[in-house]
Amino acid sequence: MRKRDALVGLAALAAFAGLWHLASTTGLFGRVPAAYAELLLPPPAAVARAAWESARTGELWGQVSVSLVRVAIGFGIAVAVGIPLGVVSAMSRAANAVLEPFVRLFSPIPGVAWVPLAILWFGLGDGAAIFIITIGSVFPVMLATAQGARAVDGRLVEAARTLGARTPALLRRVYLPSLVPFLVTGFRLGLGFAWRVVIAAEMVGVPKGIGYMLNMGRSTGRTEVTLLTMVMLGALMVVAEELVFAPLERHTRAWRAVEAA
């Protein structure tokens, strides 16, 4: 059944590519001259050629890896800062009272809104991109951690203590596993933010990276490069979802459901 669903999905994608090809070779069904159509909507074959060419020269992987490294560093900092802040704000009423106004004030500001300041402070480079990614993804990580730390079941802590668990074992064997489902949610949200923010930053000025490539395609009249970059973005998200988040969620769903009940 699942296999057939996947085949139907693939067939629909193929039909979409066929329609795309038709639209671009007929000048958007006769609405614009063929030369324009080439620029407005290059056919799938042109995108495939661009993919082959940029893969051969290493251009594609080069730009993708620049963005990936920026996200990895920026998100890594967000996790390193967000988890302790989340734990502290869940454990200490005073810390929460101090942190909450900042969270309320700063978390609704879209990450992209930090781009001008970041460029002003860090110049046009990796520093600005990493700063924006960190700012954009630290709040979801922190809030999910705090929520998870508050939700640790006191009964389980008591049960573990009567079974002989001391503090280090309690942290490792009860608190941490209780936190995992919340961390998965926080990481998924945070990485989503990070990814959007880095593309936006690279589009408006930070050189190199996927967002830069997206914009260069347009400004150099190579629309197929822009389209290729968009396809790459989707593919990367599918890979992250299938390799990282879906397995983690499957693994933690069991006790997530129990806690929700």
CB of 160 to other proteins, least distance (A): 7
List the Cα angle 111/135/215 in 5-degree steps.
40
For other proteins, the binding residues (CB under 8 A) are 153, 155-156, 158-166, 169, 173-174, 177, 180, 252, 254-255, 257-259
Cβ–Cβ under 8 Å, residues 157 and 170: yes
- The token pair at 83 is 């988890």
Nearest to 201 by CA among 220, 215, 219, 186: 215
Neighbours of 45 (CB within 10 A): 13
CB of 183 to other proteins, least distance (A): 13
| Shorter beta-carbon distance to other proteins: residue 147 or 252 | 252
| Shorter beta-carbon distance to other proteins: residue 169 or 243 | 169
CB of 149 to other proteins, least distance (A): 16
SS3 content of the chain, % helix, strand, coil (to 5): 85, 0, 15
Nearest to 138 by CA among 186, 202, 73, 68: 186
| Shorter beta-carbon distance to other proteins: residue 113 or 248 | 248
CB of 243 to other proteins, least distance (A): 22
CB of 91 to other proteins, least distance (A): 15
| Shorter beta-carbon distance to other proteins: residue 157 or 236 | 157
Alpha-carbon distance of 33 to 75, in angstroms, equals 46
Cβ–Cβ under 8 Å, residues 63 and 210: yes
| Shorter beta-carbon distance to other proteins: residue 100 or 153 | 153
